Structure 1
Amino acid sequence: MSVQRRTVVYDGPGGPFEGVFAWDDAAPGARPGVLVVPNVLGQKEADNRKAEDLAALGYAAFACDVFGQGKRGQPGPDYARYMNELNADRALLRERLRASLDTLKAQTEVDAAKTAAIGFCFGGKCVLDIARAGLDTLGSVSFHGVYDRPDYANVDPIGIRLLVCHGWDDPLGPPASIVALAEELTAGHADWQIHAYGNAGHAFTDESRKDSTMPGVAYEERADRRSWQAMENFLAELFG
């Protein structure tokens, strides 16, 4: 097995955008593709490594960019600038996600009929929006996402399958918000699962937060491991 990566520059509203595609060049033919949507900081090496991890499982993966080429969150008071711009224009975010999915499907190593999306934090909200908007993919996995609804109407039914991996102590996702999400997805006739992890908060998959002192925002090894296994099971069923 030899996992490779390549940089992909692609177009979309407000572009260009720059992401990283990963695949195992020892595996012949097209295989299912997974879109990886980053957190508040935007496209970065941690997302590229997630794409490589997915490639090692037999998929092809694209760590996409929804902020724009060269636009990345930086430490400091303005770290969420690009995320906030898209939070204020969820229709624009939807179209950038559509462009990213189209780019994943256009890669020769990808079976365009078998794709899914995973996302972390802000990316977890993005993959829920993929479902809400009815974008053309089979499933989404949200890790410690944010659950507020967009200002446009959901499709009905929500036709793709959903797995939501949630830290129960997440200050950005209190119990009322996860119940509201379950009610939303049920009303939309979605095929959904929510896995809640005790003693875990926001960013529980983010190894850069192992020494975090921010209450409710820290890496948690058990939730990270268990949620990744849940994702593996979900994708195996989805593409099986």
Structure 2
Amino acid sequence: MVNQATTTPEIIIREISYTDSKGQSLIGYLAYPEGKNKLPAVLVFPEWWGRNDYIEKRARELAEHGYAAFAIDMYGDKKVAEDAKTANAYMSATFDEPDTIVDRATAALNTLSAQPEVNAAKIAAIGFCYGGKVALDLARSGANIQAVATFHANLSTQTPAQKGHFNAEVLVSHGHDDSMVSLDDVEQFKQELDHAEVNYRVDIYPNAKHGFSNPAADENARKNGVDLGYNPLAESQSFDATYALLDRVLK
């Protein structure tokens, strides 16, 4: 089911209802430039807060750059969390069954691919924190996506990348002062991708904490007692690098 929502100048917004393989209702947020067809497209996987205003804003920015962008609902029925306890509960539920994350990410990919405005042969994924893991696990599953870009992502997995089964080029943007994903974790991730012969790049941003791309990170840290921090320079530089990757691979 497709529900027409609001239209802003030159950018069309459409909410799209779809389901995963177990029938869970999911509601994505599609943004794309008006009057364009066969667009390169980007899946946008959210932080553990869910498909909130921040992720929708990133989708609209991608649309302004000429992409069809699909902000993903990973929790079902467009649920979002306002506090860390709720966010952790929502996120943890997607780990209860080993296939839930890839199942829902694949459902989103299939839904995006089916949109008439989208070129299904030119799709990438970006992800923030938890969403970075989702994007990477989708690529690890062998999905036909051309690129993955992550921001302060959870890099761990139970299903490491396999040679010949990982199609995406990868860009990882990571904060040097991230206390949730250590530099040792980054090194283990690099070894994983080296072993699978994946084309990747890891950028480490100085004085950047977990959540560095989100202007709300400092307030989220204060409200929830978690070690987050916004860094506008790291945000700007990491997005410049991401758009350079997307433009090169998709356009």
TM over 0.5: yes
1:230 paired to 2:241: yes
Q: 2:64 aligns to what?
A: 56
Name the SS for the 2:162 alignment partner: coil
Name the SS for the 2:246 alignment partner: helix
Name the SS for the 1:164 alignment partner: strand
Provide the TM-score with structure 2 as the length reference: 0.90
Asked whether the 8 Å contact 1:200–1:216 carries over to 2, the reply is: no
The AA in structure 1 aligned to 2:17 is V
Task: Within 5 Å, give how 1:103-118 maps onto structure 2.
Answer: 103-118=111-126
The AA in structure 1 aligned to 2:161 is N
Q: 1:155 aligns to what?
A: 162
Q: 1:119 to 1:215 in 2, by over 3 A?
A: same
Report the alpha carbon displacement of residue 33 of structure 1 after superposing the two structures with TM. Answer: 0.5
The AA in structure 2 aligned to 1:135 is A
Point out the more displaced range, 112-121 or 39-48. Answer: 39-48
Q: 2:95 aligns to what?
A: 87
Name the SS for the 1:19 alignment partner: strand
Asked whether the 8 Å contact 2:218–2:228 carries over to 1, the reply is: no
Provide the TM-score with structure 1 as the length reference: 0.94
1:177-210 residue CA offsets vs partner (Å, 9 max, x unmatched): 0000000000011000101100001000111124
Report the alpha carbon displacement of residue 215 of structure 1 after superposing the two structures with TM. Answer: 6.7
Instruction: Point out where structure 1 has 5 or more consecutive residues left out of the alignment.
Output: none
Q: 1:18 aligns to what?
A: 27
Instruction: Point out where structure 2 has 5 or more consecutive residues left out of the alignment.
Output: 1-8
Q: 1:218 aligns to what?
A: 229
Query: Which residue, out of 137, 147, 172, partners 2:145?
Result: 137
Point out the more displaced range, 153-162 or 221-230. Answer: 153-162
Query: Which residue, out of 78, 84, 106, partners 2:86?
Result: 78
Q: 2:5 aligns to what?
A: none
Count of aligned pairs? 238
Q: 1:87 to 1:171 in 2, by over 3 A?
A: farther
Q: CA RMSD in A?
A: 1.6
Name the SS for the 1:166 alignment partner: strand
Report the alpha carbon displacement of residue 87 of structure 1 after superposing the two structures with TM. Answer: 2.8
Asked whether the 8 Å contact 1:120–1:144 carries over to 2, the reply is: yes
Q: 1:222 to 1:90 in 2, by over 3 A?
A: farther
Identity of aligned residues (%): 30
1:136-161 residue CA offsets vs partner (Å, 9 max, x unmatched): 211111110011112x3533222211
Report the alpha carbon displacement of residue 29 of structure 1 after superposing the two structures with TM. Answer: 2.1
Name the SS for the 2:213 alignment partner: coil
